[in-house]
């Protein structure tokens, strides 16, 4: 189990209209200018936008993999430890973060989690 940073990067860049901005400590992933994820290479963790319910469920179920990052605008962001998650689950959570952020008129171009996994494997 575990996902390498390079694999996560391939997965997230497969999302339509995904852009990223790098700083010294982390990379921010955006769709149409709005953030939906972060990557901290130093700690091999990502932060992903989720619903408040999903945030609570993930942290309660596997606190060794998920941490509460913060809440904002009715959403709960989670820190995901890449060494504790498999690619299928990470692709679902990443897609959900993108979907919660993307403008409604783009939701019909949403890939499936399976398609993200397949594309990131190439």
Q: What is the pLDDT of residue 39?
A: 98
| Residue-wise pLDDT tens digits, 101-113 | 999 888 887 787 7
**Contact status, residue 58 vs residue 104, Cβ threshold 8 Å:** no
Q: What is the pLDDT of residue 86?
A: 96
pTM: 0.92
Structure tokens at 86: 């498999």
| Residue-wise pLDDT tens digits, 47-83 | 999 999 999 999 999 999 999 999 998 999 999 999 9
Of the pLDDT bands very low, low, confident and very high (cuts 50, 70, 90), residue 121 is confident
Quote the CA–CA distance of 21 and 7 in Å, as a whole number.
18
- The strand order across the sheet containing 45-51 reads 18-22, 27-31, 34-40, 45-51, 75-81, 66-72
Q: What is the pLDDT of residue 85?
A: 98
């Amino acid at each position: 189990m575990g996902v390498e940073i390079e694999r996560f990067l391939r997965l997230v860049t497969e999302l339509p209209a995904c852009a990223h901005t790098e700083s010294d400590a982390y990379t921010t992933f955006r769709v149409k200018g709005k953030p939906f994820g972060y990557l901290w290479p130093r700690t091999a963790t990502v932060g992903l936008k989720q619903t408040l319910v999903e945030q609570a469920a993930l942290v309660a179920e596997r606190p060794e993999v998920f941490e509460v990052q913060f809440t904002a605008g009715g959403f709960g962001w989670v820190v995901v430890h890449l060494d504790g998650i498999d690619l299928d689950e990470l692709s679902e959570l990443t897609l959900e973060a993108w979907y919660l952020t993307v403008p409604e008129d783009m939701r019909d171009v949403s890939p499936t989690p399976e398609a993200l996994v397949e594309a990131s494997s190439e």
